[in-house]
Amino acid sequence: MTRRDFLWTHGGGLGGIALARMSAATHHPPRAKRVIQFFMSGAASQCDTFDYKPRLLKQAGERWDPGEKVELFQSNPGVVMPAPWSWKQYGQCGKWVSSLLPETASCVDDIAFVMSMQAKSNIHGPATFMQNTGFILPGFPSAGAWVSYALGSLTDNLPVFVCLPDPRGVPPNGPANWSSGFLPAAHQATTIRVGTPAPIQDLFPPDAVKFVSKEAERDGLRLLEQVNRRHMEGREEDSRLEARIRSYEMAARLQLSAPEVLDIGGESAATRKLYGADEAATSDMGRRCLIARRLLERGVRFVQVWSGADNGFPRRNWDSHENLAKDHGELGTSIDRPVAGLLRDLKSRGMLDDTIVHWTTEFGRMPCSQGSKGRDHNPFGFTQWLAGGGIRGGVTHGATDEWSYKAVEKPVYCYDIHATMLHLLGVDHTRLAFRHNGIDRRLTDVHGAPLTEIVKS
Amino acid sequence: MRLIGLPELIIMLLLLAAPLLAAAPDFDRDVRPILESRCAGCHAGAKPAGGLRALDAQAVRAQGRAVLAAVSGEKPRMPKSGAPLEANQVAVLRRWIESGGPTWWSLKPLAPYRAGQSIDAFIEAKLRENGLAPSPEADRPTLIRRVYFDLHGLPPSTAEIDAFVNDRAPDAYERLADRLLRSPRHGERWARHWLDVAHYGDTHGYDKDKPRPNAWPYRDWVIRALNEDLPYAEFVRRQIAGDALYPDDPQATVATGFLAAGPWDFVGHQELRDGTTDKNLTRLLDRDDMLAATMSTFTSMTVHCARCHDHKFDPIPQAEYYGLQAVFAGIDRADRPYDDDPALHRKRAGVLDRKRQAQVLLQPLLDKVEFAASPELEEIDNRIRDAKLLLAHLGEPKNAAEAEEKRTLQARADRDQKLRQASLEKLVGAETFTSIDRHKAAIKEIDAELAALPKPKLVYAAAPFFERVGNFRPSLEPRNVRVLARGNVNAPGAAAIPGALSALPLLQARFASADDGGRRAELALWIAAKENPLTWRSIVNRVWHHHFGAGLSETPNDFGRMGSAPSHPELLDWLAVWFRDEAGGSLKRLHREIVLSRAYRQSSANRTDGTRVDANNRLLWRMNRTRLDAETVRDSVLAAAGKLDPAMGGPGVQMFWFKNDHSPIYDYARFDPDGEGSHRRSVYRFVVRSVPDPFLERLDCPDPSLLAPKRSTTLTAIQALALWNNPFMLRMSEHLAARAGSASEAVRLTLGRPPTVEEAREFGAYAEKHGLPNLARLLFNTNEFLFAD
């Protein structure tokens, strides 16, 4: 059994033993220790947020003709449709941002914008898989699972990889988006449903179960360990038996630390305000971002925060086919202060230096209208951004054409983003592989290279 | 089941015709002398010309086409000096290269059956070579627990343990094994292994993850086939082309549920328009899944690695990957009707085929209308879509203004719909519509015939024909498949030729059939052929893997160069041939042969001499200890609690709260562990792809979207919490307590033995203080309960 086999079999997920030893598993000295990823489910529009194109204003309402046949997901191209928001330049770098995201805009000098993203599918399910796992098929491990597999944990008390889904529901593909795929189950995300009575499944017995008391619990766990130790006599060589005994100790630690990390009562009024944790429009995302910071602070490696659920009606994610001003308007407001708040908070606590912040979505939206007020899917060009953890602030990478339709300068797939992320974590993306059904699988498939331009030298 | 009918006759004829019986030249005897005398002058040594070593059989074969081109033709380029090769020398070379004369273990033909051998003879010979002896036989209580979990996925009852322990007859164990193999519990247990490989699920997966309510008949077919011990060759043929090869057997259609078992991109198939890049990609990947499942499962070859380029490690050209894509080009995954009455089944198939033929005539006309385009039409369509979008977004009006908006939008849409029809008629001509009406009338008559038949059953299976839903429609005849440069749907190359792998020289790799059923039938026969060594090695290795916890080859889905070579190659080959020829492909006889072996019956206790030589126990100097898999844990908890419901078959039990929304909601937390059907065996649960059962998932139940030839074993805090706190476990603890009535009986029901004196005292005291349910909970969490020695 290799060391890594041992670690993931024996509790990699919460792997106490992982801590000391796994720091040696990096391929080069890391710039970052942890990642927080915001996923805008349903496809957040680039041309309404970060990708400013004056031509859309100039030719507003004219028939859109990019000079080639355009294949759209649901519709035929409508007219040129400018953002229903105004645009302004921000920061030292002068980055154009729409008035939909003023708070994020005030952080542009810490952010590297990748303006030339492309996706390999124009369907939500496959494209959402791609941003999460590098593949447009189900069954592959998510980036968080790969990071867990590669680096193990920073703490004995909390999971390595945590997912905070939108309380309105899970995104397209459901929990398969944060699964461990063919990696051992220990690397899947632990889902925390913030604000529900039992945020972590099975952390405690359900209230309805009356026969379990505190004393029964305490005596029972003690006796269980005794019984299991006795069973090990003559079976000492089987490390799985010892690992199971330890797994109950770690479970007990999680029972202690999880309620503490989820309780934001002790955060100052100023901090709560920074995240918009107490205002109706932002409180959901604000609270989740605040909890995300607490998780990162206490040693969680990878936190994924979702904005938006599935693509159903009434609209509950960014899939604004019908009425973009309304749906993007509400969602933009709901994430703007919380996300910016997290950036500022991490920075003021000195955590931004070794925390990668990644804002992502499965694809973008068309610069033309769908119907009269919506936009259809655009896998040909969209925006993501990164900050912290060794990322250069105030830079942009690549560009779309004059319409914000296609990535024309330095086109980027998720492979490069994932490669960059792994690079900053000290991992060479070409060497992080797992043999499955005959292929050495990677997060980056057979592609990708770190985007050195957006990495601090 | 009829024994000989026309289809069976066709099979037999095809079987006879399939192998190319020309003997392939032998490298050392026939080829080497030619290469040595004519090529090795330059192509040898430290710096061989062109980097090619003439005496490296694999290298020459890898560049076979180039080598042949160099030495043949009017003025051959090679050899550079001397006369060209003689015609018969070129012919030998060509035959050897084209024969692909396998040098790789899994591709080599199987040697004829050798009598007088046994599993133990091979195992023990190898142990002796390594200075080891086998371990003694495990004690009776251990043995019965082991073989029950293995063959049934359930623990033995206390009465069964007592009976076996006290049965002093020399054939007690043999009779036990036979009894277990006769029980229907056996098929349920081993079907679960097969469903892992087939990546079976009861939902589509992907975005929306809609339920697939008619998948279960395939699951039941697998259970029945295993219980009835369907010979393996038939088991294979039916799952790939049962509908084509056994048209009189309705259950053979059900068996093709194998091809449809994997995930299906609902949005890609149903919402995307034909002819778009993403639609083509959706179909490519859908066939890729069928192909990967078929070839990985039955032949343990990773053909799916050759989608973008020739296989990097195994002799599988990219063109052959697309040849296999072409085999599946005539089917989709859809609900398919079948009838239990064979006569009715056949009759319906006939009527449906007439309907398909009528549809073939109608379809071009419909396409003419569907794909008609003009600026006017596009404008109208945009307006209609806009109205539809706004109506959907509006939902139910909440006030008078919204109600008025809805009325206006609706009126606009109705008006535009009329304009659209007028514009369309101008464009395609009114006579198109007259013809359409005529064909539709003919189809209506056929529909009336169908409606007059009794209502059919449905199975989600390989479907060459079905009713169109949205943009999901049948191909009617196999779709054109082309070899795609770099796997890119926008870079089509030559037309793909339906076929299988040329790496097996004894079988015909190119298929002659033009139609869907014929192509799949040819593939089914190619795989199930006696001469296909992959198939027979693959299945005995798979079965071995589940009995011992590790296969003879540790990569059951990959017998290629990236896979693991077998620990006992002679045993694997002997067993494959024994299974094929002597056991007639009877899986039950294979199980019996294995569980009766001394190797299987050994103690799992550790030995220092063993760990010193072979710590991973690849040589099997002892039995492997196994942690029970997810379903076995759940089923064993139910059994111990006295709650296991033995009902077999039928629709999947939804062990979650369900809401059929745009994206359906599957909520496991809102389900009563004593709810309807909740005590059924785990193999009967409704398997949701996007939202796995959290309890089973934490015990390493694999993602049903991926091919899972083996399961991992993780031991995490989250898993401990699930076993300790999950509502199912706590409820069953109460049931076990109620059933047992005493601490010592609770121990017997969970661990299959009475408590020791020490345990009796400790457990008794704990139960006294905290109640029996708390002790039951503890017992379910012991390593002794969760592992089998």
Q: Which residues of A touch B271 (CB under 8 A)?
A: 73-74, 123
Least confident of A146-160, B237-251, B375-389: B375-389
- Does B344 map to a domain? no
Contact status, residue A261 vs residue A293, Cβ threshold 8 Å:
no
- Which residues, including other chains, have CB under 8 Å from residue B79's CB and lie 6 or more apart? B38, B39, B41, B71, B85
CA distance B284 to A126: 14
Share of chain B above pLDDT 90, in %: 76
Q: Specify the residue for token string 């549920």.
A: B257
To the nearest whole angstrom, how far is the Cα of A323 from the nearest Cα of chain B? 8
The dihedral sign for the CA sequence B664, B667, B670, B675:
positive
Share of chain B above pLDDT 70, in %: 96
pLDDT at B365 over 60: yes
* Interchain proximity A126–B783, CB inside 8 Å: no
Q: Which residues of B touch A121 (CB under 8 A)?
A: 268, 278, 281
Number of CB atoms found within 10 A of residue B495's CB = 11
Which has the higher per-residue pLDDT, A269 or A23?
A269
Q: What would the two tokens of residue B527 be? A: 């795989």
Average pLDDT over residues A42-64: 97
pLDDT number for residue B11: 53
To the nearest whole angstrom, how far is the Cα of A9 from the nearest Cα of chain B? 5
Average pLDDT over residues B518-538: 98
pLDDT number for residue A21: 34
Q: Are residues B753 and B689 in the same domain?
A: yes
User: H or E element: which one contains B494?
Assistant: strand B492-495
* Interchain proximity A185–B378, CB inside 8 Å: no
Query: Which of B206, B389, B712 is nearest residue A321 as measured by Cβ atoms?
Result: B389
Kind of pairing, strands A34-40 and A355-361? parallel
pLDDT in tens, B641-669: 999 999 999 999 999 999 988 888 899 98
Which has the higher per-residue pLDDT, A76 or B279?
B279
To the nearest whole angstrom, how far is the Cα of B684 from the nearest Cα of chain A? 22
pLDDT in tens, B380-412: 988 888 888 888 888 888 889 889 988 998 999
To the nearest whole angstrom, how far is the Cα of A364 from the nearest Cα of chain B? 16
pLDDT band, very low/low/confident/very high, at A11 (cuts 50, 70, 90): very low
SS3 A364: strand
User: H or E element: which one contains B180?
Assistant: helix B172-182
What architecture is domain A3-454? 3-Layer(aba) Sandwich (3.40)
Contact status, residue A333 vs residue A104, Cβ threshold 8 Å:
no
pLDDT band, very low/low/confident/very high, at B8 (cuts 50, 70, 90): low
Interface residue of A123, A236, A362 to substitute, partner B, most B CBs within 10 Å: A123
- Does B148 map to a domain? yes
Q: Residue B134 sits in which domain range? A: 119-187+531-625
Query: Which of B381, B611, B782 is nearest residue A227 as measured by Cβ atoms?
Result: B782
Q: Are residues B784 and B699 in the same domain?
A: yes
Contact status, residue A302 vs residue A150, Cβ threshold 8 Å:
no
- Does B237 map to a domain? yes
pLDDT number for residue A2: 40
Contact status, residue A46 vs residue A404, Cβ threshold 8 Å:
yes
Amino acid of residue B562? M
Q: Are residues B448 and B460 in the same domain?
A: no
Q: Are residues B319 and B468 in the same domain?
A: yes
Query: Which of B389, B560, B692 is nearest residue A374 as measured by Cβ atoms?
Result: B389
Query: Which of A206, A212, A438 is nearest residue B560 as measured by Cβ atoms?
Result: A438
pLDDT at B2 over 50: no
The ranges assigned to domains in chain A are 3-454
Closest chain A residue to the Cα of B308, Cα to Cα: A446
Query: Which of A124, A181, A205 is nearest residue B703 as measured by Cβ atoms?
Result: A181
Q: What would the two tokens of residue B121 be? A: 């003879």
CA distance B584 to B582: 6
Instruction: Quote the crossing angle between the two packed helices B516-528 and B232-245, to the nearest 10°.
Output: 170
pLDDT number for residue B397: 86
Contact status, residue B662 vs residue B208, Cβ threshold 8 Å:
yes
- Does B601 map to a domain? yes
Q: Are residues B549 and B586 in the same domain?
A: yes
Count how many residues are written for chain A: 457
SS3 A385: strand
- Does B380 map to a domain? yes
Query: Which of B703, B716, B781 is nearest residue A186 as measured by Cβ atoms?
Result: B716
pLDDT number for residue B379: 87
* Interchain proximity A126–B206, CB inside 8 Å: yes
Q: Specify the residue for token string 């697939």.
A: B212
pLDDT in tens, B702-720: 989 989 999 988 888 999 9
Q: Reduced to 3 DSSP states, what percent helix, strand and coil does chain B have, rounded to the nearest 5?
A: 55, 5, 40
Number of CB atoms found within 10 A of residue B561's CB = 15
Q: Which residues of A touch B769 (CB under 8 A)?
A: 215-216, 219
Kind of pairing, strands A190-191 and A407-409? unpaired
pLDDT number for residue B23: 62
The ipTM value here is 0.85
pLDDT number for residue B393: 84
SS3 B575: helix
Interface residue of B656, B783, B787 to substitute, partner A, most A CBs within 10 Å: B783
pLDDT band, very low/low/confident/very high, at A457 (cuts 50, 70, 90): confident
Angle (nearest 5°) at CA B689 between A41 and A382:
25
pLDDT at A12 over 50: no
CA distance A56 to A52: 9
To the nearest whole angstrom, how far is the Cα of B6 from the nearest Cα of chain A? 39
- Residues forming beta bridges with residue B335, ordered by sequence position: B460
SS3 B280: helix
SS3 B697: helix
- Does B268 map to a domain? yes
pLDDT number for residue B544: 98
Query: Which of B703, B714, B766 is nearest residue A139 as measured by Cβ atoms?
Result: B703
Cis? peptide before A171, omega within 30° of 0: no
pLDDT band, very low/low/confident/very high, at A18 (cuts 50, 70, 90): very low
To the nearest whole angstrom, how far is the Cα of B393 from the nearest Cα of chain A? 6
Q: Is B642 exposed, middle or buried (0-12, 13-18, 19+ CB in 10 A)?
A: middle
Name the domain boundary from B411, B432, B452: B452
The dihedral sign for the CA sequence B112, B118, B124, B127:
positive
Angle (nearest 5°) at CA B501 between B500 and B502:
125
Q: Which residues of A touch B556 (CB under 8 A)?
A: none
Q: Which residues of A touch B703 (CB under 8 A)?
A: 138-139, 176, 179, 181-182
- Does B539 map to a domain? yes
Q: Are residues B271 and B292 in the same domain?
A: yes
Q: Are residues B592 and B649 in the same domain?
A: no
SS3 A263: coil
Q: What would the two tokens of residue A292 be? A: 């995300």
Contact status, residue B296 vs residue B305, Cβ threshold 8 Å:
no
Closest chain B residue to the Cα of A326, Cα to Cα: B393
pLDDT at B92 over 50: yes
pLDDT in tens, A282-321: 999 999 999 999 999 999 999 999 999 988 888 999 999 9
* Interchain proximity A123–B268, CB inside 8 Å: yes
Number of CB atoms found within 10 A of residue B140's CB = 16
Share of chain A above pLDDT 90, in %: 84
To the nearest whole angstrom, how far is the Cα of A120 from the nearest Cα of chain B? 9
Q: Are residues B428 and B392 in the same domain?
A: yes
CA distance A188 to A193: 15
User: What's the number of domains chain B is made of?
Assistant: 5
Q: Where are the alpha helices (DSSP H) in A44-116?
A: 54-58, 102-105
- Does B201 map to a domain? no
pLDDT band, very low/low/confident/very high, at B101 (cuts 50, 70, 90): low
pLDDT at B18 over 70: no
* Interchain proximity B207–A216, CB inside 8 Å: no
Tell me the C-alpha to C-alpha distance, in Å, between residue A130 and each of A318, B166, B248, B700: 17, 59, 44, 24
Tell me the C-alpha to C-alpha distance, in Å, between residue B245 and each of B253, B331, B338, B521, B652: 9, 15, 15, 6, 28
pLDDT number for residue A1: 34
For residue B667, the 8-state DSSP code is E
CA distance A293 to A349: 10
pLDDT in tens, B623-637: 999 999 999 999 999
Q: Are residues B448 and B462 in the same domain?
A: no
To the nearest whole angstrom, how far is the Cα of B249 from the nearest Cα of chain A? 34
| CA-wise closest residue to B325 among B207, B492, B206 | B492
Contact status, residue B239 vs residue B259, Cβ threshold 8 Å:
yes
Contact status, residue B126 vs residue B773, Cβ threshold 8 Å:
no
Q: Which residues of B49-64 are buried (b: 16+ CB within 10 A; e: fewer)?
A: eeebbbbebebbbebb
pLDDT in tens, B666-680: 999 889 999 999 999
CA distance A358 to A304: 9
pLDDT at B15 over 70: no
Share of chain A above pLDDT 70, in %: 95
Contact status, residue A310 vs residue B660, Cβ threshold 8 Å:
no
pLDDT band, very low/low/confident/very high, at B196 (cuts 50, 70, 90): very high
SS3 B788: strand
User: H or E element: which one contains A441?
Assistant: strand A439-442
Contact status, residue A433 vs residue A440, Cβ threshold 8 Å:
yes
| CA-wise closest residue to B638 among B685, B605, B670 | B685
* Interchain proximity A312–B606, CB inside 8 Å: no
Average pLDDT over residues B731-738: 98
CA distance A34 to A444: 19
pLDDT number for residue A13: 37
Query: Across the A/B interface, how many CB contacts are shorter than 8 Å?
Result: 301
- Residues forming beta bridges with residue A370, ordered by sequence position: A374
Average pLDDT over residues B332-353: 97
pLDDT in tens, B464-510: 999 999 999 999 999 999 999 999 999 999 999 999 999 987 889 99
Strands (E), B654-711: 657-659, 665-667
Tell me the C-alpha to C-alpha distance, in Å, between residue B748 and each of B155, B737, B780: 11, 12, 12
* Interchain proximity A310–B662, CB inside 8 Å: yes
pLDDT in tens, B36-67: 888 988 888 878 888 788 888 777 876 776 78
pLDDT band, very low/low/confident/very high, at A421 (cuts 50, 70, 90): very high
pLDDT number for residue B418: 92
Amino acid of residue A366? M
Amino acid of residue A180? S
Q: Are residues B389 and B412 in the same domain?
A: yes
Interface residue of A41, A133, A158, A201 to substitute, partner B, most B CBs within 10 Å: A201
pLDDT number for residue A259: 94
Closest chain B residue to the Cα of A156, Cα to Cα: B717
Query: Which of B304, B690, B692 is nearest residue A173 as measured by Cβ atoms?
Result: B690
Tell me the pTM: 0.87
Q: Are residues B633 and B729 in the same domain?
A: yes
To the nearest whole angstrom, how far is the Cα of A75 from the nearest Cα of chain B? 7
